[in-house]
Amino acid sequence: MKIIVCVKQIGYIYDSTAIDLATGEIDPEKMVSMLNPYDEVAVEEAIKIRESEGDCEVIAISAGGAEAENALKYAFAMGADRMVRLNYDGTDPCLISQFL
């Protein structure tokens, strides 16, 4: 059995002063990139299924540019067997969902 887990790199604002209330802009110095926490849970669950079932392969897949690589590497470090990146630099979520 193959288990495919879609993962995404997100920006996380760790400081409440990161948003300028006057302009609404975000200070990039106060934002970090990380794997979406819900995707991290999905990878963990897929690994648990693989460990309990035996003959399974966990494949992490992401669409995007270079930023997608970090999410895939994190999933691989967690225990995913393979990583697949759909090289796509656009922002149309409908098109990404059709790719996946």
Where exactly are the structural domains of the chain? 2-99
Element (H, E) at 71: helix 66-78
What does DSSP assign to residue 23?
Answer: T
This prediction's pTM: 0.80
Range list of β-strands (E), the chain: 2-6, 9-13, 31-35, 57-64, 82-87
Q: What is the assigned CATH class of domain 2-99?
A: alpha beta
pLDDT tens per residue across span 29-48: 777 788 999 999 999 999 99
Position 97 confidence tier, pLDDT thresholds 50, 70, 90: confident
What residues pair up with 59 in beta bridges, in sequence order?
4, 82
Provide the terminal-to-terminal Cα distance of the chain, rounded to the nearest Å.
18
Question: What confidence score (pLDDT) does residue 100 get?
Answer: 66
pLDDT tens per residue across span 18-28: 777 788 787 77
Q: Residue 53: which residues within 8 A CB-CB, separation 6 or more?
A: 1
Residue appearing with tokens 């225990």: 79
